Amino acid sequence: MSFQSAYAQLTALIIDDMQTQQTTLRGQLQMLQISRIDVAGTADDAVRMLKARTYGLVLCDYNLNQKSDGQQILEYMREGGLLPPETLFFMVTAENSYAAVASASEHKPDAYLLKPVTVGDIEERLKAQLERRNALMPIHQCLGRSDLAGALTAADALIARQDRWTMHALQIKAQTLLQLARHDDASAIYSKVLGIRPGLIWAQIGMAKAQRAAGNLEEAKALANDVIRTKEGEKNVEAYDVVAQCLEAQGDLEGALWTLRDCATVMPSARRQRMLGESAYRNGDLETAKDCFSKLTKATKGSITAQSQDTLSLAQVQVDSGDAAAALALLDAAVPQNRHDPQFANMALAVKAQAQVKTGDLKGAEATLQRARQTMRRAKADFATVALAKAELLAGNEDAGLKLLATAVSADHENPRVKQLIGNVLRDTGREHLLQQVIDAAVSGLNTKVSDAKALFRNSQIDEALAAIEAALREYPENTGVLLQAAQMSCMSLRLKKQANVAVSERVRAYLTRLDTLLPGSDRVAQMHRYYRETMAGLKAPGAVGQAA
């Protein structure tokens, strides 16, 4: 009878640009009876293979001697949600300093192996990580299906065992409760955990998040700042995020910027530099914005983690800082690698037109503007629309520019960041006095449509009200305020009619999906998810609750 290793069913991927090392690692995995092994020699090949197939184990060399290193591959896959929970990612490195590299990133591998790697090294870490993965697998499987109720049940089953995985299960359960907008229940778990292990960082952060979600902003800030002031928590980016989010919710945008600046100092990752750069630009701190986007474009140049928006943001900052010639050179150099990206082309044209006006090339600016108008698919509450509006205003096309700004406001009138950008554009073009006029003109028509729909609802004309709010959404498809109103009114209609109308419930799910994309991690959206689940549960619609979660 042949012995089968506990690892025989694993599918592994080796990412290494050296053929000798590929052969060595493959041989070591085969000694553990892992026979299904793929190999990638470049970052691009690795990403393609990880997108096409689910692996149980990834062994990735840190120094690939290419434009992308192993840490950037990990960052790209984790931020894109392309590494499922069941995939173990081990970093292989010859550098004792890799621990410092990992500590400066929000994405850490499940383990790292120092060269020369032995079979025993791999097996030791594989055994420990597989035990953890297998213990938590039932929970992660439910989460992977967006079955949050099932995840809670699986977590409770693991907690009942009272073994070494209890704290892990409690952590996931509390996080899931926060997703379900059950803030009080999540707080109760965090309080229980802190009673057992005072000072446990993840429980303190969780409690701060629960308080923030419940609207207790001062208490949330205090809890998060308590974490930041400890040696163990001084680099905890989640704590900084809680503080920044609370400050922004309170209208203290400058305070939020300083918090993000502190975070980027202790955690100088690409994502943190990007967040700081964007906040600095919105707040008019062009020097900080320029520094952040310059570092970003240099650090990620040619890498899979490079984002065209970083180049566009840097060019916009250069224009606003009075260095239009540098912006033109930067945009021209970026065209070849972004020629197939329509979003890059549209915004690049808008920024280029601004730069041409600043350099006195008015004829060239008008030609560029004409192309930018043709490539814009739909004006939205985004950087590209605001950039084109600024180009129009700089070129003297006031009516066109103000119309675009009004469209950006109405596209998402409750978005304070868009209003910041619009205020900056009007100030930079000498029209700051028009800000309230632009906002009022944009919001009045939208508010009228929403008010009309609400009036119909109050008059018990439910179907007519839903038709009216749906018509408003067709006009403003990405307006988060209208989406939330549409979801709420639809749920109320289901409750009033006491019928599980499939078409209406499907529309609510579509609204919530759109909101999840537009406002990831939003407490208001989480509350609406909860309202929908409770609505469907009250109607006793089989399967609806799990789907809504």
Q: Can you list the domains of the chain with their CATH numbers?
A: 11-144 (3.40.50.2300), 145-267 (1.25.40.10), 443-548 (1.25.40.10)
The one-digit pLDDT tens for each residue of the chain (549 residues) are 444 577 888 999 999 999 999 999 999 999 999 999 999 999 999 999 999 999 999 999 998 877 888 999 999 998 888 888 889 999 999 877 777 677 667 788 999 899 999 999 999 999 999 999 999 999 999 998 889 999 999 999 999 999 999 999 999 999 999 999 999 999 999 999 999 999 999 999 999 999 999 999 999 999 999 999 999 899 899 999 999 999 999 999 999 999 999 999 988 888 899 999 999 999 999 999 999 999 999 989 888 888 999 999 999 999 999 999 999 999 999 998 888 887 798 899 999 999 999 999 999 999 999 999 998 877 787 889 999 999 999 999 999 999 999 988 888 888 888 889 999 999 999 999 999 988 888 888 888 999 999 999 999 999 999 999 999 999 888 899 999 999 999 999 999 999 889 999 999 999 999 999 888 888 899 999 999 999 998 986 544 444 443
Q: Which residues pair with 60 in a beta bridge?
A: 15, 91
Does residue 189 contact residue 156 with C-beta atoms inside 8 Å?
A: no
Interatomic CA distance for residues 416 and 354, integer angstroms: 24
Residue-wise DSSP of 198-267: TT-HHHHHHHHHHHHHTT-HHHHHHHHHHHHTSTTTTT-HHHHHHHHHHHHHTT-HHHHHHHHHHHHHH-
Residue 14 CB contacts under 8 Å (≥ 6 apart), including other chains? 22, 25, 26, 29, 37, 38, 39, 40, 59, 60
Q: What is the 3-state secondary structure (H, E, C) of 423-459?
A: HHHHHHCCCHHHHHHHHHHHHHHHHHHHHHHHHHHHC
pLDDT of residue 4: 57
Q: Check if the beta carbon of residue 475 is closer than 8 Å to that of residue 449.
A: yes
Nearest Cα to Cα of residue 285 among 384, 424, 394: 424
- How far is Cα 512 from Cα 549, in angstroms, rounded to an integer? 10
H, E, C per residue of 286-316 = HHHHHHHHHHHHHHHCCCCCCCHHHHHHHHH
Strand order through the sheet with 11-15:
36-40, 11-15, 57-61, 88-93, 111-114
Are 229 and 222 a contacting pair, CB within 8 Å? Answer: no
- What's the CA gap between 379 and 18, in Å, rounded? 48
Sign of the Cα pseudo-torsion (108, 166, 219, 182, in order): positive
Q: What is the reported pLDDT for 98?
A: 74
